[in-house]
Structure formats: C-alpha cells, structure tokens
Amino acid sequence: MTDEKRCPSCRQWTQWERLPEDRCAHCDAPLMVGLPRTQTAETERNEANRPIWLEAKATDGKVMRIVRNVALVAHIVYAGIMALIMMLFAALVH
Ligand SMILES: [Zn+2]
C-alpha cells in the first residue's frame, strides 16, 4: 500500500511505502530515520482520522477544546438521527 509522508529533511510530501529503506523523492533523505520525536505516528494518526474542522491545535485554548468536543458529539448525534430518519423513510416507502 502506497502512502504519503512528509520528509523529515526537506518537509515535502513524498511517496512512502512504509518501508524503512524508503527515501524522499525530493532530497533522497531516508524517511524512517531522523524523525523528530514530536512528529511521530500519534500526531499523524490524529491528523488522518479527525475531520479537519475538529483538528485540535496547540494554540487552542481550553474553551476551544470544549467547543471541539461538543461539535464532535453533535456530529455523532446528527449522524445517528439521519440514519434513523433514513430507516423510517425506507420502512414507510415499502
Ligand atoms: Zn526530502
């Protein structure tokens, strides 16, 4: 599976096959070594899984974090209600 990874050396996005020997297409730096500890898999996973508008930033204050959590719950509830409406609609049509 091919993925993209930000090069630790030149900060460009490059093809990454999740292999230790993969190198940056721009500067030929190895992608798996020299990674700063602050930019490990955990932050990348969060960026990949969360909607962009829910992405917590280091600059967010406490209030902003609460707002984001409320928005996330509202999003889940909304999705649940929509699924329920779709099921009721399907039941009524048939
Ligand atoms: Zn590079």
Give 61-92 pLDDT, tens digit per residue.
Answer: 888 889 999 999 999 999 999 999 999 999 98
Q: How far is CA 79 from CA 47, 66, 82, 86, in A?
A: 21, 20, 5, 11
Q: Rounded to whole angstroms, how far apart are CA atoms 38 and 85? A: 43
Position 26 scores a pLDDT of: 94
pTM of structure: 0.33
- CA of 64 from ligand 1 middle (Å) equals 34
Give Dmax (Cα) for the chain: 60
Q: What is the 3-state secondary structure (H, E, C) of 24-68?
A: CCCCCCECCCCCCHHHCHHHHHHHHHCCHHHCCCCCCCHHHHHHH
Position 45 scores a pLDDT of: 60
The tens digit of pLDDT for each residue in 8-47 reads 889 999 999 888 889 999 999 998 875 555 555 656 665 5
- CA of 79 from ligand 1 middle (Å) equals 40
- CA of 60 from ligand 1 middle (Å) equals 30
Predicted confidence (pLDDT) at residue 3 exceeds the cutoff of 90:
no
